Structure 1
Amino acid sequence: MYIAYLVVALIVLIFLFNFFHILREYERAVVFTLGRFWRVKGPGLIIVVPIIQQYVRVELRTVVMDIPPQDVISRDNVSVRVNAVVYFRVIDPQRAIIQVEDYQTAVSQLAQTTLRSVLGQHELDEMLAERNKLNAHIQQILDEHTDAWGIKIGMVEIKHIDLNESMIRAIARQAEAERERRAKVIHADGELQASKKLLEAAQILSQQPQALQLRYLQTLSNIAEEKNSTIVFPLPIEILQAFSKNK
């Protein structure tokens, strides 16, 4: 007799214990009554009537999700493997549970397909040089699609863009050729500027014969400082004309 009472009391305690649940600050409970959505509860102590009511626990903290490496063919037909990381959080627990079966799997699959689609529209150079722009574009697309699920995409970051060895060597050769091209352009610009200055100097000297003679004598003085044993130099006709004019 006492054992039967004890069993009944134990069943009642277990039943009453299932009434009470404690949710942390970052947790919410989506409660259903007889299969229909009732309300979102939490945090703290909540009461859920067993059998009649059921609840699903949802976390509101930011989730860090790794996107597995994806094979992407760029617009210039270069095959690369790209992986990324997505930061998102639930802002509407009701929609996150009701509108999609498994929101984490849904976000992961959507991020994979969006990553391949967006990167496939760009060339390899854009992937390597404009990563921030691509991150923002992917985030915008994901945020638009997940808004109906009550999910906010906080950030998307492309982690690695892996190239095969042949492509790495080709990029190295391209970079070396680009450096040589720039060096030649700089050298050509320098030659052009120097030629313009020489032309201006020649025009000035041609207008002043005395200046040309002084320049000639200065050149002779520089040659003499080298201490050569014999110096042979032409005598400009302008000097002779200057002497003849003095006479």
Structure 2
Amino acid sequence: MIAYLIPILFVLGLIALSVRILPEYQRGVVFFLGRFQGVKGPGLIVVIPGVQQMVRVDLRTITLDVPSQDVISRDNVTVRVNAVLYFRVVDPNKAIIQVEDYYSATSQLAQTTLRSVLGKHDLDEMLSERDKLNIDIQEILDEQTDNWGIKVQNVEIKHVDLNENMIRAIARQAEAERERRAKVIHAEGEQQAAEKLVEAANIMSATPGAMQLRYLQTMSDMSNKNSSTIVFPLPMDVMEMFRKKS
């Protein structure tokens, strides 16, 4: 019995070591005596111990937090910028064979690309055109990681941190801009009021009785107030008569 039991246990142990189960989101890159054989999975696969080796590759989207980078903008402003990168493996063969560690390589490439792209733009563009910058970074990363079997799906700039001096300078700039707008609005109001006054004067000059009616309306408004001012109405025709005699 012992003579039969040992081979049976050996075969069972070999089968247990050979059987691998890969979930739906994983693939196995199999090497036969060091040479690439193929990509297997998901499900139940068999790998012969000592002859074949298998490397598991996760196909799910990976969230990579890009550390804060010191960036000098085109207008010589130093800022600290961090971002988040979403990518996944689309070709397990390239991800294992073409690069030693695709996660670390993608992280380092994202950091250098972030500094390079943002350094070509002004501070105002970094603060107001993040969507455009995200697309530019994503396209560059996607193109460079294509040979690694990596697909960069999205890049989002999270924070653009400024020093205290720059924050105060931006606040002063915003305050000056608000004052400029207030002065422009006030000037436009004065211009519109002057135009309306000119129109009213032209209408009154065309109708002699209009000035007299306006004069009486002014007297009515003054009589409603508690005032000791005495007003003597003088018809405009009398003034016209004196003007003609002179």
**Is this a same-fold pair by TM over 0.5?**
yes
Judge which range, 29-38 or 67-76, deviates more: 29-38
Matched residues in 2 for 1:53 and 1:150: separation? 23
Look up the match of 2:99.
100
Offset of residue 240 of structure 1: 4.2
Matched residues in 1 for 2:54 and 2:61: separation? 21
Q: Deviations over 1:135-158 (max 9, x none)?
A: 111111111111221111111111
Matched residues in 1 for 2:17 and 2:207: separation? 110
Matched residues in 1 for 2:235 and 2:124: separation? 60
Look up the match of 1:156.
155
Query: Is residue 67–residue 83 contact of structure 2 (8 Å, CA) maintained in 1?
Result: yes
Q: Deviations over 1:43-85 (max 9, x none)?
A: 1111112222111110001111110110000111110000111
**Residue correspondences, number:** 244
Residues 168-183 of structure 1: pairs in structure 2 closer than 5 A: 168-183=167-182
Query: Is residue 71–residue 119 contact of structure 2 (8 Å, CA) maintained in 1?
Result: yes
Residue type of the alignment partner of 1:48:
V
Residue type of the alignment partner of 2:158:
K
Offset of residue 116 of structure 1: 0.5
Unpaired segments of 5 or more residues in structure 2? none
Residues 96-175 of structure 1: pairs in structure 2 closer than 5 A: 96-175=95-174
Unpaired segments of 5 or more residues in structure 1? none
Look up the match of 1:59.
58
CA, structure 1 residues 115+233, in 2 after alignment: closer, same or farther (shift >3 Å)? farther
Instruction: Give secondary structure in 2 for the equivalent of 1:86.
Output: strand
Matched residues in 2 for 1:93 and 1:210: separation? 94
Look up the match of 2:203.
204
Residue type of the alignment partner of 1:221:
S
Residue type of the alignment partner of 1:28:
R
Instruction: Give secondary structure in 2 for the equivalent of 1:155.
Output: strand
Matched residues in 2 for 1:215 and 1:242: separation? 20
Matched residues in 2 for 1:62 and 1:242: separation? 95
Matched residues in 1 for 2:96 and 2:237: separation? 100
Query: Is residue 209–residue 238 contact of structure 1 (8 Å, CA) maintained in 2?
Result: no
TM-score, length of structure 1 as denominator length: 0.90
Offset of residue 234 of structure 1: 7.6
CA, structure 1 residues 146+242, in 2 after alignment: closer, same or farther (shift >3 Å)? farther
Look up the match of 1:69.
68
CA, structure 1 residues 205+54, in 2 after alignment: closer, same or farther (shift >3 Å)? same
Look up the match of 2:27.
28
Matched residues in 2 for 1:8 and 1:79: separation? 71
Identity across matched positions, percent: 68
Offset of residue 10 of structure 1: 5.2
RMSD: 2.4
TM-score, length of structure 2 as denominator length: 0.90
